[in-house]
Amino acid sequence: MLFELREVGLDRGGRAVLDSFSVAIPEGATAIVGPSGAGKSTLLRLLNRLADPDRGEIFYRGRPLGDYEPLALRREVSLVPQLPALLEGTVESNLRYAAELAGEELDVEETLARAGLDPSFAGRDVAKLSVGEQQRAMLARALAQRPAVLLLDEPTSALDHAARDAVEATLARLRRESDLSLVLVSHDPEQARRLGDRVVEMPA
């Protein structure tokens, strides 16, 4: 089992964002759907320890998540957040930063192509990208770390159909060519079915 959550609870602002939430997420691709505010983004942040639960337990590959060194865990279980937030500079400098942190070699063109971006994006200033382009640059940056698990929070929410299809094709290919696992939040049930081997519904 990739992840296992047992009776997980987390409070924010005096109320429970997650309460007694249990789920098992095997290797492969899992899509998470649920209404806005259900706690989908919060769940992903728990999985790479950007936050810790107030109650319950989370296991990653059978071991408690707290046993993993957080920095190493985050390079292995890479989160692409819902809102793009790149570092100042060019797209390439963002990719290099991520690759260096993970100690990985970087092929800029190849990494950009995997996220559906053409090579001309390498030198572009991130402050001058559209939101959809930033979203793909964020995906490329995560891929530059060659993670074992990708946590994707609404990765195509700002993309048009063509760009969305390109990203979905990349994700499908990555899964075929490597044993990358995906945990993907989507508000689109169609996309959840297209990309997910299984779909987890989060209650409101």
Ligand X SMILES: Nc1ncnc2c1ncn2[C@@H]1O[C@H](COP(=O)(O)OP(=O)(O)OP(=O)(O)O)[C@@H](O)[C@H]1O
DSSP assignment of 7-65, as one string? EEEEEETTEEEEEEEEEEE-SSEEEEE--TTSSHHHHHHHHTTSS--SEEEEEETTEEG
Report what 120 binds from Mg ion, another protein, ligand X, none; CB cut-off 5-8 Å by kind. none
Using DSSP bridges, classify how beta strands 63-64 and 77-80 pair: parallel, antiparallel or unpaired.
unpaired
Confirm if 31 and 198 have CB atoms less than 8 A apart: yes
Positions in 72-91 near another protein (CB under 8 A)? 72-75, 78-79, 81, 83-88
Compute the least distance from the CB of residue 203 to ligand X, in Å.
Answer: 11
Quick one: 42 or 191, whose CB is closer to another protein?
42
Per-residue string for binding with Mg ion, 72-101, x by CB under 5 A? ----------x-------------------
Q: Which residues bind ligand X (CB under 6 A)?
A: 12-13, 17, 34, 36-42, 82
DSSP assignment of 82-142, as one string? SS--PPSSBHHHHHHHHHHHHT----HHHHHHHTT--GGGGG-BGGGS-HHHHHHHHHHHH
Quick one: 78 or 191, whose CB is closer to another protein?
78
Using DSSP bridges, classify how beta strands 181-185 and 3-12 pair: parallel, antiparallel or unpaired.
unpaired
135 binds Mg ion (CB under 5 A): no
CA distance 33 to 91: 30
Per-residue string for binding with another protein, 27-56, x by CB under 8 A? ---------------------xxxxx----
Report what 71 binds from another protein, Mg ion, ligand X, none; CB cut-off 5-8 Å by kind. another protein
Contact range with another protein by CB under 8 A, out of 15-23, 66-74, 106-114, 172-180: 66-74
Per-residue string for binding with Mg ion, 22-61, x by CB under 5 A? -------------------x--------------------
Q: Helix (H, G, I), strand (E, B), or coil: what is residue 198?
A: strand
Report what 39 binds from ligand X, Mg ion, another protein, none; CB cut-off 5-8 Å by kind. ligand X
102 binds another protein (CB under 8 A): yes
Q: Which residues contact 161 (CB under 8 A, 6 or more apart)?
A: none
CA distance 44 to 116: 23
Contact positions vs another protein (CB under 8 A): 12, 48-52, 70-75, 78-79, 81, 83-88, 97-98, 101-102, 138, 141-142, 145
